[in-house]
Amino acid sequence: MIFHILNGDSLAHTLAQSNITGERIICRECLIDGPTQANSLDTFWGIRASFIAQAYGEQRDRYYQTVVSEMDKMLRLPVDAEICLWFEDDLFCQTNMWFILSLLGEEWQDGRIKRVFPVMEAGVDHWRGFGAATPALLEQSFAQRVPFESNDLDLGVKLWDAYRGRDFKKLMALAQTPSPCFQYLPEVCQAQVDRFPEKGQLGRPEQVIKDLLLHSSNDFKAVFSAFGEKAGVYGFGDVQVRGMYERVVGMGELI
C-alpha cells in the first residue's frame, strides 16, 4: 500500500486529479514559524497548538482535529507501506519534511520512504515547486521518486534536531552532506541562519521587505509577489510575509 504525505491541501487537490493511487495524508503544519522544542510529542503538539492559536487565530481544538489527526496517521502506518514524501525544496517545506522523518523513526530505514521531487516545465522558478504542477507533471514526479536509504533518513533526523535547537553551526555542517534525497541544502540552511542576524540588525526576510518598501509599491500584494521572486528559498505563505510586512511597516523610521 502506498501512502502519500503531502505538504498542503492544494497539492492534495491536484493529486486527486491524477492517475496516482494510494492513501493521502496531509501535513498542515508550518514549522518554519514558532517554537519547536519539546520533551515529548504530546508536549510538542500542545506548544504548537498554543502558538497557532495566538499567531494565526486558530482554535486549539481545530488544530488537533486538522493537524494532529493527520500526523497521528503517520504513526500507525502498516509495516509493508511505501511512504512517499511530496515536499518542495524551500525552507518551509524542508522543515516540515525533516520533522516528519524524525516522527517516522528508524524503523523505516530500508528504503520504503521515497522523496518525490517537483518536476516543472522549463523556465519555471524551481522554488515554486508543486504549486506550478499539473496532474501530468505530478505523475512524472511520482515516477521519478527517490528512496531514502539509512544515511539519508539519518541526515533528515539530524537536520531536524539542528533546526529545532537553532544549532546553526551543526546545521551548516550537515548541509554539506551529499544526499540524493535533498537538494539545495546549503542554500536552504543558510537562509535559516540569515533569519537570525546579530542583535540590532534585520533578518534577511525583513531586510528584503524593507528594500521592497523603499524602492517599490507599499501594497502588500505587490510586496508578497516580489518577495517570492527575491526570497523564494523561504517558501513563506502570505500569512508569514504579512506578519513581517506589518512589523517592518511599524518601524516607520526605517522606511
Is 194 a domain residue? no
Of 155, 184, 213, the last residue of a domain is 184
Examine the domain organization and report whether 9 and 125 are in the same domain: yes
Residue 191 in any domain: the answer is no
Domain-located, residue 240: yes
Query: In the structure grid, which three cell numbers stand for residue 72, read together?
Result: 497521528
- Domain assignment present for 163: yes
More confident residue, 142 or 121: 142
Same-domain pairing of 84 and 175: yes
- Residue 240 and residue 176 in one domain: no
Mean pLDDT, the chain, rounded, equals 93
**Predicted confidence (pLDDT) at residue 22 exceeds the cutoff of 60:** yes
Please check whether residues 250 and 133 belong to one and the same domain.
Answer: no
The total number of structural domains that make up the chain: 2
Alpha-carbon radius of gyration of the chain: 18
Task: Kindly indicate the confidence band of residue 253, based on its pLDDT and cuts at 50, 70 and 90.
Answer: low
Of the chain, the percentage scoring pLDDT greater than 70 comes to: 98
* 174 and 116 within one domain: yes
Task: Give the amino acid at 81.
Answer: A
Asked if residue 139 and residue 21 are part of one domain, the reply reads: yes
pLDDT higher than 70, residue 163:
yes
143 and 246 part of one domain: no
State which residues form the domain around 74: 2-184
- C-alpha 182/C-alpha 97 separation (Å) is 10
Mean pLDDT over residues 247-254, rounded? 77
Domain assignment present for residue 190? The answer is no
Strand bridging mode 113-116 / 146-147: antiparallel
Please indicate, yes or no, if residue 197 is contained in any of the structural domains: no
254 has a pLDDT exceeding 70: no
Q: In this predicted structure, what is the pLDDT of residue 198?
A: 81
Question: What's the pLDDT tens digit per position in 81-126?
Answer: 999 999 999 999 999 999 999 999 877 777 899 999 999 887 788 8
Residue 177 and residue 216 in one domain: no
Model pLDDT for residues 191-216, shown as the tens digit of each residue: 999 999 888 789 999 999 999 999 88
What is the per-residue burial (b if ≥16 Cβ within 10 Å, else e) of 142-155?
A: beebbebbeebbbb
Q: Could you read off the pLDDT of 144-160 as tens digits, one per residue?
A: 999 999 999 999 999 99
Q: Do residues 173 and 208 share a domain?
A: no
Q: Which residue has the higher pLDDT, 47 or 57?
A: 47
Residue 110 lies in a domain: yes
Same domain, 70 and 138: yes
Using the predicted structure, report yes or no on whether residue 218 has a pLDDT greater than 90.
Answer: no
pLDDT confidence tier of residue 255, bands split at 50, 70 and 90: very low
For residue 140, tell me if it sits in a domain.
yes
Domain at 87, CATH number:
3.40.50
Asked whether residue 212 falls in the same domain as residue 146, the answer is: no
11 lies in the same domain as 97: yes
CA 156 to CA 97: how far, in whole Å? 8
pLDDT (tens digit per residue) in 165-185: 999 999 999 999 999 999 999
How many residues are present in the chain? 255
